[in-house]
Each structure stands twice: as structure tokens, then as C-alpha cells.
Structure 1
Amino acid sequence: MYTALLILSVTCVGWLAAENCSVPFLTGLVYQKIDSEPQNLTIEHSIQLTEDSFHLLIVNETLPELCRNSVNIQYELYVLQIRNVGLAHIKPGAFNITPTLGLLKISYNPLTALKKGVFQGLRVKEIDCSNNYISSIDEEAFDGIPMLEVLRLSYNAIKQVSPEWFKNSPNVYKLSIIFNELTSLPARAFQNMAKDRAVKLRLSANRIQDIDEEAFYSVGNIEILRLNGNKLESLPENLFVNRTIRRLEINTNKLLCFPDKLFQSGVGSLAFLDNPTFKCPCLEKVRHFVETGNINIWYPAIICEDRAREVNIVFNYNKTYELPLILRPTEATL
């Protein structure tokens, strides 16, 4: 019995220590104004400010963990940046920041997970967790951040987008997850994003092969959708139903054609360079769509035969050319 109590006591003490860990001795750089010279800030026990500032940068230090209230800022601050400090773990409640923060940037760290409650309640407009090793994100990780508008998660190891992201965070209109390991986009993937403004989605340089027909369910107009550098052979028909996509980029994929609904949509700019598998009959549809709709276009480099008119149609970048078709000689002409 005494042994069991001793083990329990040690376990509880260890847990409390982990929850209330102190920030090691650090030196930060404080920029009072956007164009001012940095001043050194001595940090011990927790990250704090002594006066209003524009930018607090902690870089090239040693900060392996942030626990509850590790960041305790009550003065005005616009940018907080934690870069290349060996940060591997962030506990819920780590950020106790009273004022509205323009940008919270955590980058170039061995951070592998974003947990529920880490950002909840923060008055922050942009979170940038790019250039880490993030592969695990709790479904509730971005809940309850009412002022959040922009989320950047590029250059990580993220394998999926969750339809549960952004509950009670209704103003997110810009999402960037380039250079990750996404292989598909599920139904309702972006359903909780902003409804009162056009969204911007950057999903290039992944391994996306499949997009669910309902992936863009409840998404309003799209300002820009970038899917460059994936493995897509097709796009869902519903992507082009009841919404306007102002700019669609799907360069360097394996597209065969576009769904017919695209040709009835309000796409204003279309780029699909380096899709050498694209079918010629579909290219001619795109050409007609572009010419009648005054659309900005970037074609893959493909030559298509039109035997009925005895011409070759050359598609190249933003232009097409027609050249006489040189027919092979027949026995009658020899």
C-alpha cells in the first residue's frame, strides 16, 4: 500500500511540474515600432513584456516546451515570433495574451503536433505554423479563435484536412497547406470557413489524388484555388456549381479534362500548365470557353490534330496557333 501511494505521489508531482514548467533563461529581441532597431529583452520563468511593442522575436535560443502561461503578455503587441528554438511541445493554455495579436508565428522547430486548446481564446488574426514537422492536428486545434482570418501550415508533414476545423472561428478565409503530405480532400473539408467573403485556398505541392464531390460543400465564392503540383486526373463537378472561382491554378498534375460545369462557370483565370495527359477534344472546349468568356488562360504545351479542317492546333502558354496539317502520302499520291 505504501509503495502504491509513493508511486502515485511521484506521478502527481511529475505531472504538476510538467504543467507548470518554467521558461529557461532566454534573450528576446523587441522592436518598439515597425522600423525601430531591436532591443534585447531578458526572459526568465515566462515570456513577458514591460511596455507596449510592435514585434517580439525569440530566435536561435533553447526553448523545448511551452506549458500553461509560459507566454503571459498584457501589453500591446502586434507580432510574436518564436523561431528555431527547438520547440517540440506546446501545452494547452500556453498563450495567455490579453491584447489583439496581428500575427503569431512559430517556425523552424521540431514541433510535430498541434493540440486542442493551444490557441483557444486567443485574439489573433493570423497564425503561421509553417516550416515545422507537424503531422498531427487535433480536430479542435483551431476552435474558438473568433478573430482568426489566416492560417498557414505550409512545409510540414500534414496528411489530412479535417472538416471539424474552425468551429467557433468563423472568420478564417485564407488557408495555406503547401508542401505537405495530403493525398485527398474529404467531404465538407472547408465547411467552417468564412461565409461573408471569398476564400483563398493554397494546397499546392502535396500528393492529392482525390477530391470528394462534396469537398467544397458550403464554401461560397473562391478568390483563388491553387492545386499545383499534385496527382489529380480530374476535378469534382460540384466545385463549379453555385459559386464563382476567380482564379484556378492546377499546373503540374495529370488532368485528362475539366468537368462540363466549368464551362458554365464564372472562372476568370485558369492555369493548367504541364498537364501533358490532357485530351485534345477537351482542350478545344477550353479554347472556345476562353475565347467567348474573355478569360485569362495558361495552357499546357500540346499539339492537337483537327483532320476535318486539316490543321494542327498548337496550345502553348496563353496562346493557340493553327498550322496546316501535313498529311502522310497515300498510294494514290505516290
Structure 2
Amino acid sequence: MGYLVVGSRKIAEWKDFATNVIGLHPAFDSSGELAFRMDEHARRLIVLDDDAEDVLAVGWQLDSDIELQVTLDRLARRGVSVDYISDGRAASRGVASFHQFVGPKGLLIELFTEPTLDKSPLNMLCSGFVTGAAGMGHISLMSREPEGCIGFWQELFDARVSDTISLAAGNKTVLDVTFLRLNQRHHSVAIAATRGRPLDMFRTRINHFNIEVATVDDLSFAHERCAESGFKITRGVGRHPNDQELSFYMMTPSGFELEIGWDALTVEEASWQEGKSYSNMSTWGHDIPGRFSSELGISHVVQIIRSLSGKEYLPW
């Protein structure tokens, strides 16, 4: 994952959140656009003045022009319309150019090979982020068409299933989560789906995105900043059983979550054991604060009702 584009009218809140809570480096600030750095990439998080209050697009970096062409050929065989963009929109993403098409749930997928690099010193509130070949983090989304959604990532990007988590209520499994990797990061995309009747509990295209800090102190300080800022911690510190990441979750100004983590394992392809499944999202922790739990329950019920009608978009 190369970059994330958010559409929001809450520009001032996003500036405060990204700079003073997450601790990112402010790279660009105008009345209608914000951009932030995490590393030498000129832009990782972009916020555009838009009323979506949602993630608009995710950029995915391909290693070479050959890989890009292979991906474009796959899209062409599926009859997917792709736009080539090299104007100011590319500059706003911090890339020379990109190819854009509409992906699952209406999320714009943007493919690029040439990020703009900025090696000037970073002014951040942490020692650094884990990026490099693993990209900037991962996204998680809920799908009412899980087979098609998982198949999309597998067919287009050769995504591999790292493992799965199945959650039960009583003796009945109610939710399955599939974790897909595109590189050595345990997962770049996670797809959740209800068993039985397909439902979507989230208003936004993704339910959260994740970034990984360099040290446990960075994680602790980020948690303190969030607790003192007025932005809501939605799940306290805990550890996931599959990728072993220590993390906590907070609500962004646009109503989807950000997970800040540390110490996630990396996958060695030659020795990775396929087919593992877990029965809990957390080995310990990740508790939902009581007051927020009630608010979350109400919003989920409203969205579940909305999800009963209409069809979820998939490119094929």
C-alpha cells in the first residue's frame, strides 16, 4: 500500500489528528488539501476537501513497469475501464502518474510505479514507521460478497491468504475474517464477512487502516496523545493472535478507525504455514470502552439495516 486518500470537510480536524495525535510529518497544507509523510515518500496520507467523510482511494505501488503492465492486462481481460492520470491529481498523490479504476465497494484503486521521494528531515512525534517494501500499512473492509472480494485481490495482485479468524456467538460462527498478503507484511488487506445473511456494519468503505510504528515507546506515546486529545480510543491496547501485532484503535475525524501497531511479524514465504485459523481477534486486550460500545452498537444497527438493500459493487 503506497498511499491513502481521504475525502473530508473536516480539514482542520484532520490536520490536528494527523499531526498532533498520529504524529505524522505535515508535507502540504492548503485550504482544500492536506498531505503527510511517514518516510521518504513525499505523500502517504492525503486529505482532500470532499463531503464523502470516507476513504476515496488507495494507491498500490508495483515494483516495475512490467508488473504494472501485467496488472493492467488482467484488468483489460476483465473488461474493467482504467484511466491514466498524470496531471495535478498525480502530483497530489506524490507520484509521477497512476492508473485508476473503481474497485470493491466503490473504492478507487490507483496503480503506480514511481513515487516522488523527499529525503529532507522528518518532523514527527515518533521515531519512525515500518514501511519500505512492506508499504505504509494495511486496510480492513467488510464485504457482503466475500468470495468475489477475496477473488478480486487474488486475481489482480496474486494475493495470498496468510490465515483466517472465525468468531463465534455461542456455538455458532458469525464472522469470518480473511487476511491477504501482497508482500512480507502479514496482511495488506483484511476482508470480514458475516456468516449466513450478508451484512455490512460500516458506513465507510473501509472499517480501519493500519500503520506500524518503529518502537513500543512510539506506540505508548501515541496512545497517550490520543487519550489526551479528545479523539476517541475505540479499542484499547491489545495483541492480535495471527500477526502478533501490539496495537490500539482510535476513531478518525471521518468516522472510520485507525489502528496504530508495533511488532507485527513478517512473513517468510518459504517457511510460512498456510491454512491456520484462529477463534479470537485478540490474544488479550483490545477492549472497547463502555460508553463507546453503546454508541458503536447503535451505529452498527443503523448501518446493518441500510445494508439489507442494494448490491455491493465489485469490478467483476
Measured against the shorter chain, the TM-score band is: under 0.3
Which structure has the bigger radius of gyration?
Answer: 1
TM-score normalised by L of structure 2: 0.26
| Structure 1 or 2: more helix by fraction | 2
